[in-house]
Amino acid sequence: MAYAQDVPGSVGAAHAANDELNSNYRELTRQHHSLEEQLQDLAALGHLSDAQHLEEVKLKKQKLALKDQMAQMAQMACMDHVAPAATSLSVGQG
């Protein structure tokens, strides 16, 4: 027996994909927050050693990469919501 989430293009499949996207986005947000806390801890030290400065640079790059992933996911989610609406508008017009 096929479930709605197993049928490509079905509402159930869209909801399952949306749930997975939300879960992934939340995980990226958690990681981003963790990196921010680590950066704040380093900033509280004042003067950083060479190793700490390298760690700071690494953390900032990781944080930026996560932010880019989150922005890309948000853009894809917006496009997914706009595309069906645009399609339904063009179908009714003739």
How far apart, in Å, are the Cα atoms of 94 and each of 2, 3, 35, 84? 36, 35, 52, 18
Q: Which amino acid is at 1?
A: M
Say what the pLDDT of residue 94 is: 46
Q: Is the pLDDT of residue 54 over 50?
A: yes
Count Cβ atoms below 10 Å from residue 27 Cβ, excluding itself: 11
pLDDT digits (tens, 9 = 90+) for 60-85: 999 999 999 999 999 988 887 665 55
Residue with tokens 């989610």: 77
CA distance 21 to 19: 5
Q: Is 2 helix (H, G, I), strand (E, B) or coil?
A: coil
Across the chain, mean pLDDT equals 81
pTM: 0.68
